[in-house]
Amino acid sequence: MAAIQGQQYFVSAAIVAAELHKAMLVAREISLTASNARALALRAGHGAAGFRAITEFIEELARKTVTASKDINGEAVKMSRTASEIARTRDALDRFHQAFEKAKDSPNLASLKPALEHTKAQFETLEATFHKQINQLIARLEELGRELRTATVLAAMSRVEASASGREFESSLNVIAENVARAASKIQKHVKNSQQLFSEITLI
């Protein structure tokens, strides 16, 4: 049972790492889009001044997403290590209990009690650490999700500013706005998948 649960933790952590890696790749696309948008807005001149300001917010969003994804991924790796320790400690406890059951009439059984109590305390500490790590990761993902919701607002603002840039550039700037909205939607999907996985881990 311990091996199965440990395996579930590892698989979930690996899937989360994959989801966050995808989110980072999309965030880097947004950063490139923002750079293209700034260059285009400069060409458009005064009419796209508002759009230029928005590109700074878009780049900042991309930076935050990349940084947060890296940090969360690192925390997921730590959680995986804790899960490994939990699985091993649980297995040790099972073996202690089996030994106590088989040798319950042995006069030397009491000598094992200190080791058993130490293993129990270690197991409880690891479980508390593990749940704390999960809660921290869920909080970080929720924070990232809130940041990403601003991308929808930025895309809407971008469309408004695009319409003020003049007919020559409006279409191109609208494409950029759509790219930002679409990329943000993809990242939100990866973040939600990660949140769902961590929620399921707490129920194991």
| Each residue's pLDDT expressed in tens, for the chain with a length of 204 residues | 444 454 566 666 677 777 777 877 887 777 777 777 777 777 777 766 777 777 777 788 778 878 887 887 788 778 878 888 888 898 888 888 888 888 777 777 778 788 889 999 999 999 889 888 888 888 888 887 787 777 777 777 777 777 766 677 777 777 877 877 788 788 888 888 877 776 666 544
Q: What is the pLDDT of residue 165?
A: 66
How far is CA 12 from each of CA 25, 36, 145, rounded to the nearest angstrom?
Answer: 20, 36, 19
Q: What residue spans define the domains of the chain?
A: 2-201
List Cβ<8 Å contacts ≥24 apart for 186-191.
186/22, 186/23, 186/26, 187/23, 187/26, 187/27, 187/65, 187/148, 187/151, 188/145, 188/148, 188/149, 190/19, 190/20, 190/22, 190/23, 190/26, 191/19, 191/23, 191/141, 191/144, 191/145, 191/148
Helices assigned H by DSSP within the chain: 2-44, 49-102, 113-163, 167-201
> Could you tell me if residue 45 is left (phi over 0), alpha (psi between -120 and 50 degrees) or otherwise beta?
left
Burial class (CB in 10 A: 0-12, 13-18, 19+), 82: buried
Q: What is the pLDDT of residue 122?
A: 93
The single residue listed with the structure tokens 């995808």 is 22
Q: What is the pLDDT of residue 7?
A: 55
Model confidence over 58-83: pLDDT tens digits?
Answer: 788 778 878 887 887 788 778 878 88
DSSP letter, residue 111: G
Residue 46's CB: how many other CB atoms inside 10 A? 9
Q: What is the pLDDT of residue 1?
A: 44
Measured distance CA(13)–CA(133) in Å, rounded = 12
